[in-house]
Amino acid sequence: MSTEGGLLLAAAVLLPFVGMLIGMLAGGRMAQRIAFVVMPLGLAVAVGIASAWLDGSGPVVYLLGGWSPPLGIALRADGVAVAMMLAVAGVVTGIGVFALADFGTPKGGAESRAAFSYWLLLLAVWGALNLVFVSGDLFTLYVALELLTFAAVPLVCLTGSGETLRAALRYLLFALTGSLLYLLGAVLVFGAYGTLDIAQLAQRVQPEIASWTALALMTAGLLAKTALFPLHIWLPPAHAGAPAAASALLSGLVIKGSWFLVVRLWFDAMPGVVTWPSAQLLGALGAGAILFGNAIALRQARLKLLVAYSTVAQIGYLFLMFPLAFDAAAGRIAGGLALSGGIMQAISHATAKSAMFMAAGTIYSALGHDRVADFAGLARALPLTVFAFGLGGIALVGLPPAGGFVAKWWLLSAAASSGQWWWALVLMAGGLLTAAYVFIVVTRALRAPGAPLVIAPVARLSEMAALGLALVSVLLGLLAVFDMRGLIAGRPSMGA
């Protein structure tokens, strides 16, 4: 049955897409204006869904057309979905404000094609992400995943240069391969169990050859789209080549979509199929990402590439929660402190990484380059931006009251209680490596320059937007003071 507030779920998905369609038809400066109308509305809808979930006792459900699964499609929002939707709404708003500097059209001016596309794609990414969070069955998730990819790929080549087009093409082909693997897995699941609805699958799935093959295929396909080591080839050129506002979107939000799908699959659809070795393998790939990505980031001479490789490393953190959530006694994966830690890590990374990319973009437009070795004198010239970058770095390293600290505390507690001390070592080493390159960049900026630094003027608005998101990421942990139901308790999410 549809619950109270269920219609808001459909609204959360439809609103950005309707805005995008109207913007595409209207043209001119309308795309930008419509985006700024949709943003507060979308925030309001997300808050509405959150309050509906807080009032109710289970997930918020909406049955499209009144048809129930397996014939119909159900949209479900549980604690993790609500948290992610709120975070995405907030970050999109912040990025939108920042993008006014790069892609805003002045009064009376003609809107460039890049600006027009950007606002439409921003809305499309938002809508696709909302669909990922609330979908209740595997096929709708496939459609949402493809929507997300189609919206993200043009963002990579927004500038139209040859390098970015190549990067976009590689991204697209690799992502499409991943989607087909995912689809193959979904097909096998349907063949074996007759339904694709997640709640129903949770009850029907048995550990057997069909479900193992399907889970392996789907997981691998999703890992390709999430750019987990060693499948991260497309990410650094794509994220570093895109304009700053687009990189913030790609690194901060788009990655979380396919990651969230892995969470749904492993925790909600097939918890009984997941085994200890497979969870450890996922964690091992995550550890590889953390160590490899951070090490390569340390060797980068350009800031945007440094931040992109830092994203490769931070994605690894998101996958450490899987082995930590595995309850060895019960022999199955269970939500709890590790799940909460992972979600908090995702939200914290979304805000902090967006802020860092925005700061990097401001630096690039001010200096005309982003070579770290030539940053001397930047702290005096662009104090707010360097401060925002430093704050974002602090949030990633994990200092209270940042969300990254709360996530680290929860993950470390899960490691302590399950005795998996090796993941604790990886977490701690990762934090130190992240601090290393943040320190390098910030101290380069603090050095006194040989000759006075010449910078182009930058919009105050973009500096403030970056600073605002960075402050949010640093203060996110204050939310942990309020005991967050559903996240901490890890309530059964998709149980009907």
What single-letter DSSP state applies at residue 180? Answer: H
Minimum gap (Å) between residue 115 Cβ and another protein: 18
CA atoms within 13 A on the CB side of 116: 15
Minimum gap (Å) between residue 36 Cβ and another protein: 27
Radius of gyration of the chain (CA): 22
14 class by beta-carbon count within 10 Å (0-12 exposed, 13-18 middle, 19+ buried): middle
Say if CB 248 and CB 125 are below 8 A apart.
no
| Shorter beta-carbon distance to another protein: residue 95 or 279 | 279
| Shorter beta-carbon distance to another protein: residue 17 or 405 | 405
Q: How many residues does the chain have?
A: 496
Rounded to whole angstroms, what are the CA distances from 382 to 121, 297, 362, 442, 452?
30, 23, 9, 12, 13
Minimum gap (Å) between residue 446 Cβ and another protein: 7
| Shorter beta-carbon distance to another protein: residue 249 or 270 | 270
| Shorter beta-carbon distance to another protein: residue 25 or 448 | 448
Of the candidates 244, 232, 234, 233, the residue with the CA atom closest to the CA atom of residue 370? 244
Q: If residue 75 lies in a helix (H) or strand (E), which one and from where to where? A: strand 74-77
Minimum gap (Å) between residue 327 Cβ and another protein: 14
384 class by beta-carbon count within 10 Å (0-12 exposed, 13-18 middle, 19+ buried): middle
Amino acid at position 434, single letter: T
| Shorter beta-carbon distance to another protein: residue 51 or 443 | 443
Six token digits for residue 276:
């200890």
| Shorter beta-carbon distance to another protein: residue 105 or 348 | 348
Say if CB 324 and CB 423 are below 8 A apart.
yes
| Shorter beta-carbon distance to another protein: residue 115 or 285 | 285
Six token digits for residue 296:
């390569």
Where do runs of H (alpha helix) occur along 374-420? 378-381, 383-397, 403-418
Minimum gap (Å) between residue 440 Cβ and another protein: 6
Minimum gap (Å) between residue 286 Cβ and another protein: 13
Minimum gap (Å) between residue 182 Cβ and another protein: 10
Minimum gap (Å) between residue 78 Cβ and another protein: 23
| Shorter beta-carbon distance to another protein: residue 203 or 443 | 443
